[in-house]
Chains A and B, each alone.
Chain A
Amino acid sequence: MNFFAVALQAGTSPDINFPLILPEMIVCGVAVLVMFLDAFMRRSQRWVTGGLSLLGLAAGAAATIWLWTRGAGSLGTFNGMIVLDEIRLSFTLVVIFVSALTVLLSVVWVEGEHLPAGEFHSLLLFATSGMMLMASGGDLVIIFLGLEILSIATYVMCGFRRTDLRSNESSLKYFILGSFSSAFLLYGIALVYGATATVRGSGVVAGTTNIAQIGERVMAGDIMYPALLFAGAAFMLVGFGFKIATAPFHVWTPDVYEGAPTPVTAFMAAGPKAAGFASFLRVFIFGFPFVGAVASASSATNVHDAWLHALAILAIITMSVGNVAAIVQNNVKRMLAYSSIAHAGYALVGFVAAGAATDATQRADALAAVAFYMLTYAVMNLGAFAVVTLIARQNDRRTEVEDYNGIGFRAPALSFTLSIFLLSLLGMPLTAGFIGKVAVFASALNVGSSAPAASSLYTILVVIGVLNTAISAYYYLRLIIVMFFRERTTEWAVPRIPASMALVLVITILGVFYLGLFPGRVLDAFKRKPASGAVTQIAR
């Protein structure tokens, strides 16, 4: 990194710290490289572009871990636009993991569907860099930029099977509704910027989009237009709610997930959701923080209470709508789409806990719980979608529940692995899903046990979450029942499992059991603050 250090010392801008965005730069650079390779190679070489993407993602992950262990001292540079904290690092690793598995999922699939592999991989990498920016943005503008990079890449990926009407519909729907929700978010950002203007001495100081500064001004009650702040927060809540698919902003999800190519659906359900959670968490928890005893009469400080309660209600609605609607689905992808809505609801329980936490340890626990939940969800969800991709065959033909009739003992390896993923999604002990649920529910009960008031709110939240888990048993088991307890009446050939797919299945199965049996290391790691140290000193 000496190159950067030297360059920086000679530079004029004092607040540039390239090592801090090394992971993002690597992934972005590899994305461009893949695009070039694809343009200049005679025909799309899926193994070359796929392998290169994997290498890039691995390098990005290594850089992230390097940042984490070596540390970068200050919380942020680029004038606070990029931050370095455990939220960024843990979520970055989650999204890189999701993208890497998606690459593995897609290498054989793109060939089978006669689609350009290079394009797909570079889009995926751009989406990843967008997600990483969302996780690392300390400024609303950076978060918005990251969101747009991610969204535009995903719009294209949804419509990647150009000749398929369902894919086109999915893409268009996602594009229109996604733009609409981006507008909400942007409007919210603008309103917050306006609201946070404040009077200093004789003059008016302009507003800010920096999350830390917003937080400081909210804490101090130093807000010129409190009503605007409320409106801005509400708009942003809607915008983020859209992206992570919370009810009632979820209506796009089933259609888009059903129509998009299955590997893309797998990616969308796990990656962008995690990234959305990362920035959603940072904006609300640090931008509109708990004010506590300092609370003055100024209503600006109550924005914390307002969003917390709104989010608690959203969590309840999201869990219930997702699970109840999933019961009546006959298409597996649609069912998993609703299940992903429900899982966003469970994660929101941890979010509420993080927001309500009164001390830093509780908050760190809750944040780590949400990040861990996203990781477990990513593992089991990608595993499940890998099997769905294999069974669906070309053109996503076999995605109805009927298509799974009696395949249990025809393809035992596939069916039993799918069952393990489904049981993990359901939250059975010994699997990742169980520990994920325990972590988020425990953080909510923890907050409830020491909350100054309304502690029953958190208990109720958890009880509703638990009852929803019981509801979800019905549809997860339904697939298992169809596979194992029914007999196959029509012809069905066992799908061949390509090596890359087998690798995905092995990784996810091991992940499900590793996170379910020995989650300690990961949970501890996600709580770990980046050590202060080398990078800043070299760079400054």
Chain B
Amino acid sequence: MLQDNLLTILILLPTVGALALIGHGLFWKRENDYRWIALLFSVITFALSLLLLTRVGENSDAAFRFEQKTLWIGAIGSYYHLGVDGMSLWLVILTTLLVPVSILSSWNSIKKRALSFYVFMLILESAMIGVFVSLDLLIFYLFFEASLVPMFFMIGIWGGERRIYAATKFFIYTAVGSLLMLVGIIALYYIHQQQAGAGTFDYLTLLDALKSGRVVITESSAFWIFLAFAFAFCIKVPLWPLHTWLPDAHTEAPTAGSVILAGVLLKMGTYGLLRFNLGLMPEMARRFAPYFVVLAIIGIIYGALVAMVQPDVKRLVAYSSVSHMGFVVLGIFSFTEQGMQGALYQMLNHGVSTGALFLLVGMIYDRRHTRQISDFGGLATPMPWFSTFFVIASLSSIGLPFLNGFVGEFLILLGTWLSTGFSYNWVATMIAATGVIWAAVYMLWMLQRVVFGRIRHGENARLSDLNAREVGLLIPLLILMLVMGVYPRPFLSRSRESVVAVQQRVTKSTGAAGSFSVEVQENKQR
């Protein structure tokens, strides 16, 4: 019973929590209870999400588990179809982990309108889980769009100085992309209707029809539909040059918002690329791969260089996201098992380490009400706990061996080196690899100016170190960094078959652009 409806429960539970919060707020109005209720619901959701591991075991095949399918709108032909496979499994768990962590991080910093804050947070959690488990394109779109609204409010109400600008920019940027994707989704529906009789938004039905050749998307349609999907996802990732909303949104958002934004919302883009662009239109993916690789590499270098010169720690971390997400896109479009597994792994890494960095930045902001690097220095003396955590999180973000970042980046670079999807892959690998060096430069330089050295400002000497709550919420992330860096097997072995299925689909499929696949085969033999 529980297992069969697990995904629905995961989606609904946070919303139920939000409704409970509203009810509590209407009748009791006890400010201090809100965070506890929110925490309770998010922790239960996290615990339940761990049940997903029971059916998606190690070395499990690519099939979807916990599937649920009921007709939603008969007139439109849309199903409420959910399922989890190795690719979405960890993203769901990442989501359910980061939400209680960010609720804990807002414990004392969100005083103003706390009720609405936690309500939005829980609604956002529902939407995010929904994105990763939907197997119906319309439902996917629905959750994808729905996640915008609570985040818009979170940035706008609890954000920093330029929050209105950042919130509007965030909303409109992402809405433009996803609306075009909606056109693509509807177009797919009618392509299926024309060739197979009945239209469908169902991902698995579409995939089946495309695989078996019952439905063939003509090259010109595939071109535009691929671009429509890719546009939506690349804005979300964000791929250079569509990244300009990110630094503003990340910097202005409250700490919890930044953590969720970087930790989960960005992954919706890369997840979408993997699942829909590569899965549904592999020929186009091959055709566009060189462009994506170039943009991803520009993003890696550009993000790192811009991060280096930021005077604001939060903005620095934001730009480092552009660089890291560039790696993820590079891995996806390498079309090798290593690269794509690495991309998936890097999504999780980025969620954990960048999430931790935003949390830490939020913690010093709470104490000093500034994020300027020049206002800090020598924090190691008054705040040893903070400094330790900050250093470890930074090193994980850089990609130091034995920490999680290394595994992901190494796999991505290896995959790019082995890739046959585009020429000059070794050049791509070499340029992208410098991104790791740049990461070390901007991170270590920032660490040196913030954590080490002499105390330059008197008020820093009196800062209190992390309290038990703050340590407690960072510990899980820290453990994950170490475990994922040393023992990646439980993660990678679960996602392997699902990722390989997509990879096979891209490299082996023949279709409208059939000649291309021959070329790939030849490359392999060389």
Contact = CB atoms under 8 A, between A and B. Distances in A.
A492 interface: no
A523 B76 contact: yes
B142 A463 contact: no
A212 to B, nearest CB: 27
Best-surrounded residue of A438, A450, A463 (most CB of chain B within 10 A): A438
A527 B75 contact: yes
B145 interface: yes
Interface in B163-215: 163-164, 167-168, 171-172, 175-176, 179-180, 182-183, 186-187, 189-191, 193-194
Nearest to B163: A485
A442 interface: yes
Contact of B73 (A480, A485, A486, A519): A519
Interface stretch (A171-179, A197-205, A423-431): A423-431
Contact of A470 (B138, B153, B157, B175): B175
Contact of A520 (B75, B171, B183): B75
Interface in A513-537: 518-520, 523-524, 527
Interface string B35-65: 0000000000000000000000000000000
Contacts of B143: 429
B143 to A, nearest CB: 8
Interface SS majority for chain B: helix
B113 A409 contact: yes
A238 interface: no
A311 interface: no
B75 A467 contact: no
A477 B179 CA distance: 16
B74 interface: yes
A470 B146 CA distance: 15
Given A449-B194, A466-B180, A469-B179, A429 B156 contact: no
Interface in A463-488: 463, 466-467, 469-470, 473-474, 477, 480-481, 484-486
A473 B168 CA distance: 9
B158 to A, nearest CB: 10
B156 A485 contact: yes
Given A467-B176, A485-B167, A438 B183 contact: no
A480 B148 CA distance: 14
Interface residues of A, number: 40
A158 to B, nearest CB: 35
B242 to A, nearest CB: 14
Contacts of A485: 156-157, 163-164, 167
Nearest to B73: A520
A449 B142 contact: no
A438 B167 contact: no
Contacts of A438: 76, 138, 182, 186
A189 to B, nearest CB: 35
B187 A466 contact: no
B175 A445 contact: no
A406 to B, nearest CB: 11
A439 B138 CA distance: 12
B379 to A, nearest CB: 33
Given A485-B156, A524-B75, A441 B183 contact: yes
A500 interface: no
B172 A474 contact: yes
Best-surrounded residue of B113, B145, B149, B191 (most CB of chain A within 10 A): B149
A435 interface: yes
A485 B74 CA distance: 39
A439 B175 contact: no
A448 B73 CA distance: 22
A446 interface: yes
A236 interface: no
Nearest to A412: B116
Interface SS majority for chain A: helix
B312 to A, nearest CB: 21
A467 B146 contact: no
Given A435-B73, A445-B186, A523-B75, A428 B146 contact: yes
B75 A442 contact: no
B152 interface: yes
Contact of A445 (B142, B179, B183): B183
Contacts of A473: 171-172, 175
A430 B175 contact: no
B75 A484 contact: no
B341 to A, nearest CB: 32
A527 B156 CA distance: 42
A442 B164 contact: no
Interface in A400-433: 408-409, 412, 423, 428-430
B68 to A, nearest CB: 17
Contact of A429 (B75, B142, B172): B142
Contacts of B167: 481, 485
A369 to B, nearest CB: 9
Contacts of B164: 481, 485-486
A462 interface: yes
B107 interface: no
Nearest to A372: B75
A429 B194 contact: no
A408 B164 CA distance: 15
Contacts of B157: 408, 484-485
B126 to A, nearest CB: 11
A368 to B, nearest CB: 8
Contacts of B288: none
Contacts of B168: 474, 477, 481
Nearest to A368: B75
Contacts of B172: 470, 473-474, 477
A520 B74 contact: yes
B141 interface: yes
Contact of B156 (A428, A445, A481): A481
A519 B186 CA distance: 17
A94 B156 CA distance: 36
Interface string B133-151: 0000010011101101100
Contacts of A435: 73, 76
Contact of A467 (B153, B179, B194): B179
Given A445-B186, A485-B167, A523-B76, A450 B176 contact: no
A174 B221 CA distance: 46
Contact of A466 (B138, B148, B182, B194): B182
A439 B168 CA distance: 27
A442 B189 contact: yes
B190 A423 contact: no
Contacts of A409: 113, 116
B188 to A, nearest CB: 10
A429 B74 contact: no
B190 A446 contact: yes
A447 B153 CA distance: 38
Nearest to B173: A470
A259 B143 CA distance: 39
Contacts of B141: 429
11 contacts: A423-B149, A441-B183, A463-B180, A467-B180, A469-B175, A470-B175, A474-B168, A477-B168, A481-B167, A485-B163, A523-B76
Given A442-B76, A459-B187, A462-B183, 13 more contacts: A408-B157, A442-B189, A448-B190, A449-B187, A449-B190, A462-B186, A463-B180, A467-B176, A481-B156, A481-B164, A485-B156, A519-B75, A527-B75
Top 7 A-B residue pairs of the complex, sorted by shortest distance between their CB atoms: A523-B75, A429-B142, A449-B190, A485-B156, A470-B176, A466-B179, A520-B73
